[in-house]
Chain A
Amino acid sequence: MTTVSDTPAAPPAERTATPATWAWTALGVAVVLVLAWATRWLDHHLPLETKGTSYAKYVGAIEYPVYAIALGLLGNVILTVTGLRDRLSGAFRTEFFIKTGLVLLGASINISLIWKAAGPAIVQALVLITGVFLFTWWIGGLFKLDSKLRALLASAVSICGVSAAIAAAGAVRARKEQLAYAASLVIAFALPSIFILPWLADTFGLSDAVAGAWIGGNIDTTAAVTAAGALAGDDALKIATIVKTTQNALIGVVAVALSAYFAFKVERDPNAQRPGLKTLWDRFPKFVLGFIVASGVGTWYANAVSAADAKTTIGVVNDWRVWFLVLAFVSIGLEFRIGALKEAGWRPVAVFASATVANLGLGLALASLLFAGFTVT
């Protein structure tokens, strides 16, 4: 998760909601909306403007996540240079935008597809999370990282990026610098993955289902999974979303396990209470419920009206979904911070890079095994 954002690059500082804060946030919202509008304008008009020229095939290959992230990064540079970025950052809500977009995406996914993909998605998530978490924990030990940072990095790389890092930070009582650092690493690795994984999936000749399962199981943030899935194709996006959402749902289990491990083994607190079902529910990403409910409602609606009416109406829902995804991708670019990475040195980067490579290998093997012959209908 993203539960992307799932992706503040750094945890937001404690703010008092003064009129000035609201004014800066409103200005930030305006910046995000203008960049999102520019993204949609470029996506719609550039292919028309270049039609019949030698640039047409290159422009045709560029999809809206690329424009959105590029404009977000450009906006990031301008706002950083002008000293406005931190003041406006209250409006860069990647998590909210991407999760709303995913709830809306649920409406165009037949509930039977979720049901059919749930089995392999759960098996993949359990094996991948366990394998990659333990590998990252082990290699973090070899590199002598602090145990709390090891927990954050292992959660982030094995489950769903910043959301998992936030949940783990609460569970192990991490410091804000450690959370900011883990979040920055997640985004730094997720950005290139958005473009590299769809390209590799195409190069390897993976089917839509296997490509989607690989992307969903490997890219850390939910927003980046959605961007990469959108580049890989509509069917790949559906499977990537189901696989990522399944991983997101397991955040609670890992947070509870980490809470218990740190309380009883690392800190040896005799007064610590055993985390229970309430903790599990507290940590559960609620948007997963919205995604499933939207899928059920969308499936019911498609069966209740004519095919033409269903296509038109779900088309409107999809338009809104694209708007929310564009807002999320713009925010990914706006939130990216390089500063925290420079401060922490090379060892955590080496651990995260090693874990990412292990995740890619194990993820490809599992996706190829579990989603071979799977059809997206």
Chain B
Amino acid sequence: MSESPTPSAETSPEVAQATRLAFSEDWAATVVGLVLLVLVLTGVVTQGLVP
């Protein structure tokens, strides 16, 4: 994703991957949270659909 910082050549692959994962999870959480909020507010997801 474009928000992922470009790892330096000397950064270990594991650290670079952890960095990418952390920032991807930021976006994923934002999108999932806001979509779920909109679905609830518009009545698409109701009390009966909460596990």
Contacts and interface: CB of A to CB of B under 8 A. Distances in A.
Most chain A beta-carbon contacts within 10 A, residue among B23, B28, B37, B50: B37
B36 to A, nearest CB: 6
Interface string B1-27: 001110110111111111101110111
Interface residues of B, number: 38
Given A99-B29, A316-B46, A166 B22 contact: yes
Contact of B29 (A103, A173, A179, A323): A103
B37 A11 contact: no
Interface in A137-173: 163, 166-167, 169-170, 173
Contacts of A104: 33, 36-37
Nearest to B11: A173
Interface string A267-307: 00000000000010111011101100110011001000000
A95 interface: yes
Nearest to A279: B5
Contacts of A167: 19, 22
A287 B26 contact: yes
A8 interface: yes
A99 B33 contact: yes
A95 B20 CA distance: 13
A286 B26 contact: yes
Contacts of A313: 40-41
Q: Give the secondary structure class of A's interface.
A: helix
Nearest to B30: A290
Assign chain A's interface to a size class: 35 or more
A286 B19 contact: no
A370 B26 CA distance: 29
Interface in A330-357: none
B21 A12 contact: yes
A218 B10 CA distance: 32
Contact of B23 (A174, A286, A293, A320): A286
Contacts of A287: 26, 29-30, 33
A319 B50 contact: yes
Contacts of B8: 173
B5 A170 contact: yes
A116 interface: no
A96 B37 contact: no
A282 B15 contact: no
Interface string A93-105: 1011011111110
Given A174-B12, A313-B41, 10 more contacts: A95-B22, A99-B30, A99-B33, A169-B18, A170-B7, A179-B18, A287-B29, A290-B29, A297-B34, A316-B45
